[in-house]
Amino acid sequence: MCIRDSYNSNYPPYNIRRVNENDYKIEIALAGYSRDDIELELKENTLTVRNKQKEKVVNEEGNGVIHKGISTRQFERSFTISEDIKVKNAELLNGLLNIDLERIIPEEKKARLIDIK
């Protein structure tokens, strides 16, 4: 299993978890973003998470915001995944983007017992 972060920033923070032998999860902290703000792209062996470009709001106070502490800056984070990893699902829940990955092992690469004659 190979997942490698190919972007050199600390934002947004993320975890990569092994759920079981063939299932993995990437968790990305995205407080302040809705699912309409996020783009998830799989191209060749690169999984990219980025936010969509928004119009800049000049006067935050006009929106009722007195202090802006939750970042909604532009970001792009890319992960290189191996060819045997497939993206199963992605869900944004409570400010956490969960991307479920599954390792698909072709029949010819699976361990098997050989009959002895």
3-state SS assignment for residue 107: helix
pLDDT(17) > 90: yes
Task: Give the contacts of 77 (CB within 8 A, at least 6 positions apart).
Answer: 5, 7, 9, 12, 14, 28, 48, 49, 50
According to the model, what pLDDT value does residue 107 have? Answer: 79
Instruction: Indicate the pLDDT class of residue 15, thresholds 50, 70 and 90.
Output: very high
pLDDT(4) > 70: no
Instruction: Indicate the pLDDT class of residue 74, thresholds 50, 70 and 90.
Output: confident
Stretch 22-32: mean pLDDT = 92
Instruction: Indicate the pLDDT class of residue 64, thresholds 50, 70 and 90.
Output: confident
According to the model, what pLDDT value does residue 79 have? Answer: 94
